[in-house]
């Protein structure tokens, strides 16, 4: 049972990374891909720790906290960028404006 869950989580992370590499034009799609990678990590760590009979409660909560911080920072950056530039396209960002 654990092996099938591990394969499913690996496929989820692979699809999220593939989506992150292929869709780099919109900032929202990049954020969604990063959230998929974070979700697969949150699912992978407790499964792998339970296979090794290690305590996993604190690590799972820490990963969820870091995922929530990542999401809030990403959304605030997206709101700031859409208010400043009027779009969420990553092509509109240049190093001269930063």
55 occurs within a structural domain: yes
70 occurs within a structural domain: yes
Record the pTM: 0.78
Name the token pair of 8: 């499913």
**So what's the pLDDT on residue 76?**
92
98 occurs within a structural domain: no
27 occurs within a structural domain: yes
Domain count, the chain: 1
12 occurs within a structural domain: yes
Range of the domain at 28: 2-92
**So what's the pLDDT on residue 85?**
80
**So what's the pLDDT on residue 69?**
92
**So what's the pLDDT on residue 96?**
57
57 occurs within a structural domain: yes
Query: pLDDT exceeding 90 applies to what percent of the chain?
Result: 5
76-84 average pLDDT score = 88
Query: Is the pLDDT score of 95 beyond 70?
Result: no
The CATH number of residue 63's host domain is: 1.10.287.3510
47 occurs within a structural domain: yes
């Amino acid at each position: 049972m654990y092996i099938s869950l591990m394969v499913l989580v690996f496929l989820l992370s692979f699809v999220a990374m593939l989506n992150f590499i292929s869709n780099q034009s919109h900032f929202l799609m990049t954020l969604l891909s990063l959230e998929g990678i974070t979700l697969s990590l949150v699912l992978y760590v407790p499964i792998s720790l339970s296979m090794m009979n290690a305590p996993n409660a604190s690590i799972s909560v820490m990963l969820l906290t870091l995922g929530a911080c990542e999401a809030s920072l990403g959304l605030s950056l997206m709101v700031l960028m859409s208010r400043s530039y009027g779009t969420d396209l990553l092509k509109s960002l240049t190093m001269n404006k930063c």
